[in-house]
Chain A
Amino acid sequence: MPPQPFDQAGVKEDMMAVATLERDAELMLRVREGDTHSFGLLLERHRVPVIHFLCRMVQNQPVAEELAQEVFLRVYRSRANYEPTAKFTTWLFRIASHLALNWIRDKRHERGQESLDAEVQEGMSRQVQDRGMSAEQSLVRQSKFEEIRRAIDGLPEKQRAAVLMHKYDEMEYSQIASVLECSESAVKSLLFRAYESLRARLAHMA
C-alpha cells in the first residue's frame, strides 16, 4: 500500500478540536472554583448552538430560550461537583435533549398533537422574515422553510434530536450516541431511518 499523504489540514482541525475540548473543561473547572467570568465565556461559546438546537427541537423560540435558560442554570448549579471526565458539550446537549424531549412529551400528553402543532406554528411565525429579498424570493424561502420544519417535526423525537445534532451541530456519531444514551450503531441506524423519512416526505422538493 502506498504511504498516505500527510493530512496537514486534518491534523490542524483535530488539534483545534482538542484545544476546544480542553478549554471547555478548563473553563468549567474555573467556574467550580468560583470564577463567574469563566461561566460567561462558556455561555458565550455554547449559547447559540444550544438555543438553536432547542429551537429546532421544540419549534418554538420562546420555549427554546426558556429551556436553554434551564440548561445553563443546571450547569451552573452543578459546578461544585464538576469533574472533567466527560466531554462538556456532550453533557450540555444531554441536559438540553432531556429537557426538550420531556417538554415535547408533556405537551403532547397535555394538549394532543393537533394543538401542539398550532402552538409550534405560532412560536415559529417570526422565523421567516424578509431579509432584503423580493416578495417572490421571500415566499419561496418561507415555503421551503415550512416544508422542512414540518418534515422534521414529523420525525419521532429521538430521530429528530439525532438529525439536528448531526446536521446542524456537525456532531460525530459517537457523541450523538453519548447524548442519546445509545450505541453508535444504533445512532447510525436511527439517522439513516430519519433521513429516509425526510427523503420520502420531501421528495417533491428535489
Chain B
Amino acid sequence: MLDHKMTCPLQTDNTDILLDYCSRSLDPDRRAMFERHMVHCAECRDTASAQSEIWMAMDAFEAEPVSADFDQKLYARIDRLEHVPVWDKFWAPVRSYLQGQPAWKPVLSVATASAALAVVFFVRTDVMAPQLMPAIDVQEVVEAEKALEDLDMLGQLESESPQSEKETI
C-alpha cells in the first residue's frame, strides 16, 4: 500500500504513479497518498511540477484537419482492390512463400516476368474479352501479400502474453 512512508516512486518501478498524477488519471485514493508523499519528497514534487508543465504544453502540438477527399481516395483504392484479377489473387501467396526462401529470390523476378508475359499472351488470344482483363499490376500483387502480413499481425495479438518481455527497448 502506498502511504507517506512509502519508497519514493522515482526510486522504484512505480514511475507510472507520477505520470498518472500529472495526467489526472490517478484514482482519488492514490492521488491523496502521493500528495502526502510529495510533502516531504522534494524530488517527486519537482518532477511532478515539471511533468505537469510538459503535459499541458504538449496540447500546443495540434494536428491538422484531415483532407476533405481522404475517404474518396480510400474508396477509390478499395474499388481498384476489388477488381484485382483472379490470377493475381492466386499468385500472391505463392510469391509470398517464395520470397521467404532466399535462394529463390533471383529466380523470382524472372518467374514473375515470365508468368506475366504468359498471361498477357493467353489473354491476347481471346481467352477473355479485353475489358474483363486489366493489365497486370505488380502493385496489386504486393497489396494482396500485405493483407496476409496484416493478418499475421492480428494473429500475434491473439497469442501474445501481455507480460512477456519480447523486446528490450
Q: Does A77 contact B (CB under 8 A)?
A: yes
Would you call A145 and B60 a contact (CB within 8 A)?
A: yes
Would you call B81 and A76 a contact (CB within 8 A)?
A: yes
Would you call A74 and B51 a contact (CB within 8 A)?
A: no
Would you call B151 and A47 a contact (CB within 8 A)?
A: no
Among A73, A74, A182, A198, the residue within 8 A (CB) of B167 is A182
Query: Beyond A47-B70, A51-B63, A76-B78, is A206–B162 a contact (Cβ under 8 Å)?
Result: no
Would you call A205 and B13 a contact (CB within 8 A)?
A: no
Q: Does A65 contact B (CB under 8 A)?
A: yes
Of the listed stretches B34-42, B112-120, B129-137, B141-149, chain A binds B141-149
Contacts of A141 in B (CB 8 A): 60
- How many inter-chain residue pairs (CB < 8 Å) link A and B? 150
Q: Does A63 contact B (CB under 8 A)?
A: no
Identify 5 residue pairs between A and B in the complex whose beta-carbon atoms are under 8 Å apart, listed by A's number.
A43-B74, A47-B66, A167-B23, A178-B162, A182-B169
Among A73, A86, A185, the residue within 8 A (CB) of B13 is A185
Residues 35-55 of B contacting A (Cβ, < 8 Å): 47, 50-51, 53-55
Smallest Cβ distance from B112 to chain A, in angstroms? Answer: 20
Would you call B78 and A202 a contact (CB within 8 A)?
A: no
Interface string of A180-206 (1 = CB under 8 A from B): 111111101111100100110011011
Query: Beyond A148-B58, A148-B60, A188-B16, is A90–B157 a contact (Cβ under 8 Å)?
Result: yes
Interface size on A (CB < 8 Å)? 67
Interface size on B (CB < 8 Å)? 49
Interface string of A154-167 (1 = CB under 8 A from B): 00001100000011
Interface residues of B (CB under 8 A from A): 13, 15-16, 18-19, 23, 25, 47, 50-51, 53-55, 57-58, 60-64, 66-67, 70-71, 73-74, 77-78, 81, 143-144, 146-147, 150-151, 153-154, 156-158, 160, 162-169
Among A126, A181, A190, A198, the residue within 8 A (CB) of B54 is A198
Would you call B19 and A74 a contact (CB within 8 A)?
A: no
Would you call B57 and A202 a contact (CB within 8 A)?
A: yes
Smallest Cβ distance from B15 to chain A, in angstroms? Answer: 4
Closest residue on chain B to residue A48 by CB atoms = B66
- Name the residue among B50, B61, B144 with the largest chain A CB count within 10 angstroms: B61
- Inter-chain CA distance A127–B146, complex, in Å, is 32
Interface residues of A (CB under 8 A from B): 40, 43, 47-48, 51-52, 55-56, 61, 65, 68-69, 72-78, 81-83, 85-87, 90-91, 94-95, 98, 126-127, 141, 144-145, 148-149, 152, 158-159, 166-168, 170, 173-174, 177-178, 180-186, 188-192, 195, 198-199, 202-203, 205-206
Contacts of B61 in A (CB 8 A): 56, 145, 148-149, 152
Would you call B162 and A145 a contact (CB within 8 A)?
A: no
Contacts of B71 in A (CB 8 A): 40, 43, 47
Would you call B60 and A199 a contact (CB within 8 A)?
A: no
Would you call A205 and B77 a contact (CB within 8 A)?
A: no
Closest residue on chain A to residue B29 by CB atoms = A4
Query: Beyond A86-B154, A94-B157, A183-B165, is A65–B60 a contact (Cβ under 8 Å)?
Result: no
Query: Beyond A148-B61, A158-B169, is A192–B15 a contact (Cβ under 8 Å)?
Result: yes
Query: Beyond A81-B151, A191-B19, is A203–B160 a contact (Cβ under 8 Å)?
Result: no
Closest residue on chain A to residue B73 by CB atoms = A69
